[in-house]
Structure 1
Amino acid sequence: MAGLIKTALSLEHGQLPPSLHYESPNPQIDFGGRFRVNAGLTDWPSNGTPRRAGVSSFGIGGTNAHVVLEEAPAAEPSGPPSRPWQLLTLSARTPEALDQTTVRLGDHLWGHPGLELADVAFTLHTGRKGFEHRRMLVSSDLEDAASALAACDPERILDGRAESSGRLVSFLFPGLGDHYEGMGSGLYRSEPGFRERVDRCAEILRGELGLDLREVLYKEDEEPAATDRGPDLRRMLGRRQARELDRPSLAHAAIFVTEYALAGLLRDCGIEPAAMIGYSLGELTAACLAGVLTLEDALRLVVRRAKLAESLPVGAMLAVPLPEEELAPLLGDRLSLAAVNGPSLCVASGPVEAVEELETRLAGRGVVTRRLSASRGFHSREMEPLFEPLRELVSGFELRPPSIPYISTVTGTWITSAQATDPDYWANHLCRTVRFAEGVGELLRQPSPILLEVGPGHALGSFALQHPESGPGRTVLSSLRHSYECQPDQAVLLRSLGQLWLAGAEIDWAGFHAGERRRRMPLPTYPFQRERYWIEAAPAQPPGRP
């Protein structure tokens, strides 16, 4: 065994060690000029062919063995990193071991400044088992990662405890309101899976929109730099000029395409939705992913129902912090209850004059309301003229029962196959109240749920966190930044993937690194917490007196 190990090391390093204690050959041995004993450490030339060596073992019982070793082929060099940001994952069986793992990795990175951070991340993903106590960091370069690990900055380094693996994830798809030009542009540049899906949708939509959606969606192609800090207050307060993406047909198409591409990217990484819920327009994304609608039919429905809405008079929508039973008597004949987002959070919708009147009445009572960025009174009786044209459109689709369970926000519970395949359901969809609070309550009642918002912002996650069913054991995350958040898109997505891993969701690291040429490298191994179990002898007792 010692000879086998020595030979393997010689092949690895390309050197021949000396034979111990050898000085000169026995004069009785005739080497014939073909053999020699190595007296010192020498280089082992390859002469253009792989190095080979034989190892013999002669057993005292008469068993002889011989094995021929050949050097391993040269390791293929890593390719350039495809991502500007990297996700580092650490885990251990105990908190103490996790702390030691963090320190040892930080020291290793400081001591090896030539390492490729993408290869470090790849090794941590594919060469380390995921234990219960977990830690993650998103970083853009080796020095930054080493500094963050050394400082253990709680704003950069997140901890979690995966008490059970394989936790189920539910996707939440937002509707109109938090969209913005440039949403997902960082992912479009750096993630091939996201870009391919956006490109496919944009080509399908050329005939429906009469333009290339990418030229509108990515008109603002600059995402926040890594050095940006704090939110964009102008955007947070909603102070912006009207833009082309405010047109319902373009806005609806952009939201659907972004959500569809982002969901596909997450699925490439092994994050498969066990259930879904979509807010208004977001339900079309859920239906498409569940196989109810083909991608082509879903895109056609998204754009044509938005264009039909554009033909209606201008309307408005108002967020009101009141329970449904208190708001309903105030709506009168012209306004409708558009959405119930929480126990005390509803949306009224209808003509602009009626919304303004309700806004004034509530302000007189001291109720602070907020006008939503919608140019029509969606989910109100104002949408009823669209029923027949939408029914005629959907009747031409081949609707299928859902392959993934999802919540209907029309009923607030699980959609049935009969509803999903009924054209009347989809024709009525834009006229009915969005019962998101009831629907997300169904998801929160699942065992140890993880709710992931798949789309711009984190409004749905906020509603879920305020829900009475929310509490310990429930995880709510977002995956794409809000317009006012100054963070790169990919850093936000990697942070979300890291948080999913912290919570116990399974990540398909092979899918995550698909298309990359990465290599595993030597990194610090597990810091075992050694304990002494030796039974100590009892101290000797002095002999008693006679």
Structure 2
Amino acid sequence: MTGRGLVLLLPGQGSQYQGMAVELYEREPVFATVADEFFAAMGPEGKLVRNDWLSDTPGVPIDDGTRAQPLLFIIGYAIGTVLHSRGLQPVRLIGHSVGELAAAALAGVFDLPAAGRILAARSRVLAGAPAGGMLAVAAAPATVEAVVDPVWAAKGLVVGAVNAPAQTILTGPEPELSLVEEALWTAGLTSRRVRSAQPFHSPVLNAAADVFEQAVAAERLRPPRIPITSAWTGRPVESADGLRPAFWARQMAEPVRFWEAVSSLPDDGEFTMVEAGPGNLLSVIARRHPSVRARRSEVFGLLPTEGKAAWPVWLAGLEKLAEQSISPRGSQNCSAR
């Protein structure tokens, strides 16, 4: 028996909640060591992020990108590091939005000190970003786009992510986002706000992405040592991609094709897909993959949704991984298409 290949799913904005993974920081030594190194590398901003994360009354709300983004990054990266310390090596990494930066760091594109500087720069550019947000709509992209007024689209209201065939994220500035929210309701389409204070994956963040690219370009980049499927392009990250600062910076303002990235895993493959972060949003999506529906593959998260204790979920996830036959190289059918 060859064994299943481990695929890590690394979540992005919208999965966060106050206090996420704090129990791991308090009780998992490898996790805590990695997190502290990251916060130190962020400089003065790192201490503020850590304090708000551990506080019941944070100074900056968790849904603001200056808090959610670095925390989602380090939680995904630290979980991946803990799994590696236990001999569990993923055969593929798939990150959603800022989760793609966590995938890059786990794959060795840049080291952890560089990651701290990169995420600090990301927070700085987000602090000056236009007001806006994101809206999850239970419909196909074409159906959603038909409701968007061309005037709103010209101002940056666009499809920012396709998470599944009928799960579309609209993103853009205010007041256009609120106007389309009303139009969707009138058209009979179900929608809800994504927990975000910024319009990620909209062209209104082009200027922020340009500045952010300069910060990424200041660091040493390397080709990925672990295969990554990009949720921006929907394709494997090639060696040349890993060396391009724009590849890692521009995704802030470009659409996410998460469903395309997950669907690139072969239908007849055998994987254990693990969500390395809070919320279980990516797990729900990945359960639609044909190999999961055929019960050749399994999907589960290592952290709970908001309001549940993290430590029992974490231990249960580790126990599941220990019980499975995880191949260090994955099954023969585990390569992305």
Q: TM-score, normalised by structure 1?
A: 0.56
Task: Name the residue aligned to 2:35.
Answer: 198
Residue from 88, 91, 100 that aligns with 1:274: 91
What amino acid does structure 2 have at the position aligned with 1:183?
M
- Aligned in 2, Cα 1:191/1:242: closer, same or farther, shift over 3 Å? closer
Alignment of 1:447-486 (within 5 A): 447-467=269-289, 470-472=292-294, 473-484=296-307, 486=308
Q: Is the aligned partner of 1:438 residue 2:275?
A: no
Q: Is the aligned partner of 1:181 residue 2:18?
A: yes
Q: Is the aligned partner of 1:211 residue 2:32?
A: no
- Cα distance in 1, alignment partners of residues 22 and 215 from structure 2: 32
What amino acid does structure 1 have at the position aligned with 2:220?
E
The alignment covers a number of residue pairs equal to 322
**When you count helix as a share of all residues, which structure comes out higher?**
2
Task: Name the residue aligned to 2:315.
Answer: 494
- Cα distance in 2, alignment partners of residues 356 and 458 from structure 1: 27
- Cα distance in 2, alignment partners of residues 269 and 220 from structure 1: 32
Unaligned runs of 5+ in 2: 329-337
1:278, distance to aligned residue in structure 2 (A): 0.3
Decide whether the 8 Å contact of 1:410 with 1:433 is kept in 2.
yes
Please, what is the CA RMSD of the aligned residues? 2.2
Alignment of 1:309-458 (within 5 A): 309-331=126-148, 332=150, 333=153, 334=155, 335-443=157-265, 445=267, 447-458=269-280
- Cα distance in 1, alignment partners of residues 28 and 291 from structure 2: 36
User: Over residues 465-512 of structure 1, what are the superposed CA-to-partner deviations in whole Å (9 max), with x where a residue is unaligned?
Assistant: 13456422111010011212x23x2221121122223442269xxxxx
User: Over residues 197-243 of structure 1, what are the superposed CA-to-partner deviations in whole Å (9 max), with x where a residue is unaligned?
Assistant: 11211222233x1635332212249xxxxxxxxxxxxxxxxxxx995
1:328, distance to aligned residue in structure 2 (A): 2.6
SS at match of 2:207: helix
What is the identity percentage for the equivalent residue pairs of Structure 1 and Structure 2? 30
SS at match of 1:309: helix
Alignment of 1:256-295 (within 5 A): 256-295=73-112
What amino acid does structure 1 have at the position aligned with 2:298?
T
Task: Name the residue aligned to 1:152.
Answer: none
Q: Which structure has the greater CA radius of gyration?
A: 1
Task: Name the residue aligned to 1:526.
Answer: none
Decide whether the 8 Å contact of 2:129 with 2:208 is kept in 1.
no
What amino acid does structure 2 have at the position aligned with 1:166?
G
Decide whether the 8 Å contact of 1:319 with 1:346 is kept in 2.
yes
- Cα distance in 1, alignment partners of residues 82 and 56 from structure 2: 22
Alignment of 1:42-121 (within 5 A): none
1:283, distance to aligned residue in structure 2 (A): 0.3
Residue from 109, 118, 127 that aligns with 1:301: 118
What amino acid does structure 2 have at the position aligned with 1:482?
T
SS at match of 1:455: coil
- Cα distance in 1, alignment partners of residues 253 and 236 from structure 2: 19
User: Over residues 299-331 of structure 1, what are the superposed CA-to-partner deviations in whole Å (9 max), with x where a residue is unaligned?
Assistant: 222221232122022101100111122223333
What amino acid does structure 2 have at the position aligned with 1:498?
E
User: Over residues 101-125 of structure 1, what are the superposed CA-to-partner deviations in whole Å (9 max), with x where a residue is unaligned?
Assistant: xxxxxxxxxxxxxxxxxxxxxxxxx
- Which is bigger in relative contact order (C-alpha 8 A, separation at least 6)? 2
